[in-house]
């Protein structure tokens, strides 16, 4: 089919950058032949065929693990663990074998049916953790089918360094494979920008866009431009557009180099007010990037992602070892460790909730499973001996929840004292403000903690009633909605009225467009993706505190979100060079 002229697709930015290249579309639809009925005599052969495929894919994953360790280090080995655990899942193995033996379906048909069962379960689960497992399941299914059908699984060998990959979704393991091919950029039709895949793309410096409604009529090798600065994907760009973006990419690269030169300077406003910039940590391999990018510590350790390679919940000693590694890497700077923010299915794989996002999650779950939080608190107390470490409570909605954690900390301190083990006797306690209910009682909550950390990702999701993992709702998932800014202002006022600090640790902290609004709201610290630290540091340096307050007042005086966004862009053109 003849390709059309220039076409521009709006998209959500997951990882900043600009790339010019050629389309490489990956068709991830499962092209199964019709399932085949088999005789009783064929049952054993089909089961052996399936089990042989399982062993083959296990060996492939072992080879991938070795390759990843050689290329990226031991800290990246966790990338294959989700797939390895899935292949060992007795529920999956038994389901395929049962379909073959009872329903007399061939191995390929049984695999399709069994995996569809898991797709359906995960599709009903709205938690982003389980939405991400889609790509893990698909990856394993593809490999099993390819082995049985005798196809090659090395589908990325044809990539060259100008390829911009378009796919429905992608697993972190596939992304690592792409880095070998020096892929120029990634465009995904589904997924949320807070997913592990997108966090990793930012860490690796690969531009990435999400949520594109992309027609499949374009040919492989079609010229494309990925603009992950303004959120655009351009297909069949005209000559002038291509030339414009070549220049724009060069300017972007120069600006990036300039930002990196100044990354070790303290973050100060134009009139000298200090703002502490911290990094978010999801994986152990990011440790080296903390100091390298100029962060002044770690403002959020997402502990639920640190142990993807281990059965959950991890043991006290496993946690102790990893927390010590993190703390020692930035000492004497601050480290804020968030308690496990998981839902019930992560603890009990057989338990189903109709709506896990509104179910047992975060501190609610930890109260129900007290042994999990006690083990984690003990590990944190031991790891943080003689260090500046804080504990952060996720999904707080009441004073009683904070008091519960305080009692657990006091109790575990006494237990460690009885065992004559060293521990941090002055550990600070903070509360995540990510529920509208918590924001509205922040005055009461502030009396029980040493600081607040506003989780804007979930605050936006719950306040605006949008699923943040659903890319098709990205236009509604709006950090510039006046309700969100008013929540932040209110929480900051209540925190300061009670003499405690308040920070922001969600995606909003990564966005230089939002920086003057957050400083105008008197936010004390920002915690962000490590790659965002240099540009936010530059943004802070380009205006005074008073200018940021005027910017916030002007912004809130406008009712229309689109108009307010345009006013903010105009303000930046006058005061800032970061956009």
What pLDDT, in 10s, does the model give residues 8-39?
Answer: 999 988 888 999 999 988 875 655 567 889 99
Cβ–Cβ under 8 Å, residues 210 and 193: yes
Query: Do 344 and 484 belong together in one domain?
Result: yes
The pTM (predicted TM-score) of the whole model is: 0.74
Burial readout 544-578 (b: 16 or more C-beta within 10 A, e: otherwise): bbebbbbbbeebbeeeeeeebbebbeebbeebbeb
- 97, 121, 149 - which closes a domain: 149
How far apart, in whole angstroms, are the C-alpha atoms of residue 549 and residue 551? Answer: 5
Query: Rounded to a whole number, what is the distance in angstroms from the first to the last CA of the chain?
Result: 38
* Domain CATH for 413: 3.20.20.60
Query: Do 67 and 182 belong together in one domain?
Result: no
Q: Is residue 49 part of a domain?
A: yes
Query: Do 245 and 280 belong together in one domain?
Result: no
Q: Is residue 218 part of a domain?
A: yes
Residue whose tokens read 């797709």? 119
Quote the pLDDT of residue 31: 57
If one counts every other C-beta atom within 10 angstroms of the C-beta of residue 378, the result is 23
Query: Do 407 and 524 belong together in one domain?
Result: yes
How far apart, in whole angstroms, are the C-alpha atoms of residue 530 and residue 270? Answer: 23
Query: Do 204 and 278 belong together in one domain?
Result: no
Query: Do 54 and 162 belong together in one domain?
Result: no
Size of the chain in residues = 579
Q: For the purposes of burial, counting CB atoms within 10 Å of the CB of 464, is it exposed (0-12), middle (13-18) or buried (19 or more)?
A: middle
Q: Is residue 353 part of a domain?
A: yes
Quote the pLDDT of residue 130: 57
**Closest to 306 (Cα-Cα) out of 283, 279, 290:** 283
**Separation of CA 61 from chain center:** 23
Range of the domain at 495: 273-530
Residue whose tokens read 């299915």? 345
If one counts every other C-beta atom within 10 angstroms of the C-beta of residue 365, the result is 22
Number of structural domains the chain divides into: 3
Quote the pLDDT of residue 536: 93
Catalytic entry in 196, 198, 572, 575: 196
Q: Is residue 440 part of a domain?
A: yes
How far apart, in whole angstroms, are the C-alpha atoms of residue 507 and residue 12? Answer: 12
Active-site residue flag, 196: yes
Query: Do 310 and 459 belong together in one domain?
Result: yes
Query: Do 280 and 304 belong together in one domain?
Result: yes
Quote the pLDDT of residue 1: 45
- 125, 149, 173 - which closes a domain: 149
- Cβ-proximal residues to 324 (8 Å cutoff; 6+ apart), any chain: 383
Which segments of the chain have a pLDDT < 70? 1-3, 28-33, 70-79, 121-133, 151-160, 176-182, 192-196, 199-200, 203, 308-309, 345-346, 348-357, 359, 467-477, 578-579
* Domain CATH for 11: 3.50.30.10
Query: Do 485 and 431 belong together in one domain?
Result: yes
**Bond into 332 cis (ω within 30):** yes
Q: Is residue 447 part of a domain?
A: yes
- Residue 145 — left, alpha, or beta (φ > 0 → left; ψ -120 to 50 → alpha)? alpha
Query: Do 324 and 358 belong together in one domain?
Result: yes
Which strands sit side by side in the sheet containing 232-235, from one edge to the other? 7-10, 232-235, 223-228, 17-25, 163-167, 185-188, 208-210, 12-15
Q: Is residue 538 part of a domain?
A: no
Q: Is residue 526 part of a domain?
A: yes
DSSP at 41: G
Query: Do 174 and 80 belong together in one domain?
Result: no
CA dihedral 274, 455, 312, 416 (to 10 degrees): 50
- 486, 513, 530 - which closes a domain: 530
Q: Is residue 489 part of a domain?
A: yes
Retrieve residue 356's tokens: 């896990």
How far apart, in whole angstroms, are the C-alpha atoms of residue 342 and residue 361? Answer: 5
Active-site residue flag, 351: no
Catalytic entry in 198, 208, 505, 551: 505
Query: Do 292 and 398 belong together in one domain?
Result: yes
If one counts every other C-beta atom within 10 angstroms of the C-beta of residue 64, the result is 18
């Amino acid at each position: 089919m003849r390709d059309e002229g220039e076409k521009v697709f709006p998209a959500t930015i997951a990882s900043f950058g600009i790339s010019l290249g050629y389309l490489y579309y990956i068709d991830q639809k499962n092209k199964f032949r019709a399932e085949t009925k088999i005789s009783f005599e064929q049952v054993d052969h089909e089961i052996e065929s399936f089990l042989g495929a399982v062993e083959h894919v296990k060996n492939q994953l072992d080879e991938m693990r070795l390759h990843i360790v050689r290329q990226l280090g031991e800290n990246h080995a966790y990338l294959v663990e989700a797939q390895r655990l899935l292949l060992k899942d007795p529920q999956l193995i038994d389901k395929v074998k049962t379909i073959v033996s009872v329903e007399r379906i061939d191995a390929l048909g049984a695999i399709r049916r069994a995996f569809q069962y898991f797709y359906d379960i995960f599709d009903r689960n709205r938690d982003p953790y389980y939405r991400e497992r889609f790509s893990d399941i698909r990856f394993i299914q593809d490999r099993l089918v390819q082995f049985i059908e005798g196809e090659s699984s090395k589908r990325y060998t044809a990539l060259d360094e100008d390829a911009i990959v378009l796919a429905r979704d992608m697993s972190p393991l596939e992304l690592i494979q792409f880095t070998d091919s020096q892929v120029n950029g990634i465009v995904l039709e589904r997924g949320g920008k807070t997913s592990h895949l997108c966090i990793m793309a930012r860490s690796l410096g690969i531009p990435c866009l999400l949520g594109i409604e992309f027609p499949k009529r374009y040919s492989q090798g079609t010229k494309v431009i990925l603009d992950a600065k303004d959120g655009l994907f351009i297909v069949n760009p005209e000559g002038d557009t291509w030339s414009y973006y070549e220049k724009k990419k060069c300017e972007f690269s120069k600006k990036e180099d300039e930002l990196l030169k100044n990354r070790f300077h303290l973050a100060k406003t134009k009139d000298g007010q200090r703002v502490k910039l911290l990094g978010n940590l999801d994986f152990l391999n990011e440790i080296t990037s903390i100091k390298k990018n100029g962060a002044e510590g770690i403002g959020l350790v997402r502990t639920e992602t640190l142990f993807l390679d281990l059965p959950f919940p991890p043991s006290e000693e496993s946690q102790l070892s990893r927390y010590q590694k993190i703390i020692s890497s930035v000492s004497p700077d601050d480290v804020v460790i968030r308690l496990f923010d998981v839902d019930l299915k992560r603890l009990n794989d057989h338990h189903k909730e109709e709506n896990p996002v509104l179910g047992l999650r975060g501190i609610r779950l930890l109260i129900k499973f007290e042994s999990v939080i006690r083990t984690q608190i003990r590990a944190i107390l031991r790891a943080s001996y003689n260090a500046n470490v804080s504990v952060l409570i996720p999904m707080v909605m009441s004073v009683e929840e904070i008091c519960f954690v305080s009692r657990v900390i006091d109790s575990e301190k006494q237990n460690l004292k009885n065992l004559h083990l060293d521990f941090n006797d002055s550990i600070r306690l903070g509360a995540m403000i990510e529920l509208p209910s918590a924001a509205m009682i922040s005055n009461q909550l502030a009396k029980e903690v040493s600081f607040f950390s506003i989780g804007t990702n979930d605050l936006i999701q719950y306040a605006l009633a949008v699923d943040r993992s659903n890319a098709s709702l990205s236009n509604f998932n709006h950090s510039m909605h006046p309700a969100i800014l008013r929540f932040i202002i209110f929480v900051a006022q209540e925190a300061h009225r009670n003499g405690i600090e308040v920070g922001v640790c969600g995606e909003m902290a990564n966005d230089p467009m939002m920086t003057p609004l957050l400083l105008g709201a008197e936010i004390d610290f920002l915690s962000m993706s490590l790659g965002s630290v240099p540009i936010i540091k530059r943004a802070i340096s380009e205006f005074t505190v008073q200018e940021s307050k005027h910017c916030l007042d002007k912004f809130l005086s406008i009712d229309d979100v689109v108009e307010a966004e345009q006013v903010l862009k105009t303000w930046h053109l006058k005061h800032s060079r970061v956009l």
